[in-house]
Each structure stands twice: as C-alpha cells, then as structure tokens.
Amino acid sequence: QSVLTQPPSVSAAPGQKVTISCSGSSSNIGNNYVSWYHHLPGTAPKLLIYDNNKRPSGIPDRFSGSKSGTSATLGITGLQTGDEADYYCETWDSSLSVAVFGGGTKLTVL
Amino acid sequence: EVQLAESGGGLVQPGGSLRLSCAASGFALRSYGMNWVRRAPGKGLEWLAYISFGSTNIFYADSVKDRFTISRDNAENSLFLQMNSLRVEDTAVYYCARGPLWYFDYWGQGTLVTVSS
C-alpha cells in the first residue's frame, strides 16, 4: 500500500479531458515536488511532468500538472487511444527518506 | 542522445544473488544522481535505491535495505545493483533511471529478474 493514493482507473472518450488525482501528506506532496509518469509494461516509463507542473521537452501541452496542499493532479486533454497506459505520481517523502510512487491509475480511452 | 541500458537479469533461485548493470551513454554519468526502480507482475512502479553523483548520499527502500547495494563507476559510465538474499517477491522488471529523487527524466528499457525454484 503506497503512501500516495491514486484512483485505480479512469476512463473517458477520445477527444475528452481526464484528470488523475494523487493524494499524500505533509511529509511528501505537501513539502516536495511531484512528478508524473506514463508506463506501458514492457516499455521504459516516460516522464510527463516534473516539479509539479513543468513539462520536459517533447511532451505536448495536452499534459498538465498542478499541486495544492497535499494533493496533486495530472490533466490530459484531447485524449487519444495512444494515451491508454498506467499513470503514476511520484515524490520524495522527507519523513521516510524514500522516494514514493502512487499505486498507479489505468487510463482507458473508450 | 541519452541512453540507459540495463543488463544482468535472469532466473535465480530464492536466496541467490544477481548483479545488475546499467550502461549510460549520451551524457556524463558523473554529473547526475541515479536510481533503480522495479515493476513486479501485476503491481505498480516501486522505487528501490538512489545514489548521488559522488556516491556520498545513498538511500534505499525498506523492502530492499540490507539486501541490495547500489553503486556506480563514473569512469566507466556505469551504475550497478547488487542483489543478495533474493526472494520470490523480488521478481520484476528492473529499471535504472536518471534523476534527483523527485523526478526521473530518462529510463532504460529494463531487465527481467525472475526468482523461482
């Protein structure tokens, strides 16, 4: 059981918008940067968002990140079937002195 | 182009050992912190260990502390994970990832470790 809580699954139609939440505490999200990843088993995970809301070069602006208090949110607009994957939030936990991932959210584009 | 390539995975019996390697190219490994992350079948991503660019700071997840050891050879642009006392639940794809702990910007393709009798 992760210290970061994500919904197990979300779904939406192509072209629509979806948000994925990540809930933590003051020892992790509340006082540290959050990052987000896309992962399909058998491939390398991909960084989508770092430092709460920054996009690496090459990541389209359809992907956005935000943080408020002890929660963070990943937003994806203009959904495409190719966006189907598992999505993870991640941060540093200052109390535990470990990096932590959320449990992951499976995105289905209907 | 930044590339990370893991090797050393395979089948090992419970209680056995394996040493994973990660070859870095396209950047100066000596300038970056590095991590190991795994994904077990049916489970999510799990961070395992971090080593700072000069090896002065090292952190481990509780699940592998005292069994796994992370190390690096900056001259050889290589990262390592020595895994001892392996358990069935250590079966996973193991990834090396570049980053400072609060994000990982480049990942390898992974190497499969199977612990089974």
pLDDT digits (tens, 9 = 90+) for B37-84: 999 999 999 999 999 999 999 999 999 999 999 999 999 999 999 999
Radius of gyration of chain B (CA): 13
Residues of B in Cβ contact (< 8 Å) with A91: 102
Q: Are the Cβ atoms of A50 and B105 closer than 8 angstroms?
A: yes
Chain A closest-CA separation from residue B107 CA (Å) = 6
Chain B closest-CA separation from residue A105 CA (Å) = 9
- Helix, strand or coil, per DSSP, at residue A81: helix
Distance of CA B32 to the CA centre of its chain: 15
Backbone angles phi, psi at A14, to 5 degrees: -55, 140
Structure tokens at A110: 């209907």
Residues B28, B29, B31, B34: is their CA dihedral positive or negative? positive
Taking a C-beta distance cutoff of 8 angstroms, is the pair B115, B92 a contact?
no
Nearest Cα to Cα of residue B47 among A84, A4, A63, A21: A4
pLDDT digits (tens, 9 = 90+) for A16-53: 999 999 999 999 999 999 999 999 988 999 999 999 99
Residues of B in Cβ contact (< 8 Å) with A54: none
**A58: buried, middle or exposed (CB in 10 Å: 19+, 13-18, 0-12)?**
exposed
Q: Are the Cβ atoms of B47 and A41 closer than 8 angstroms?
A: no
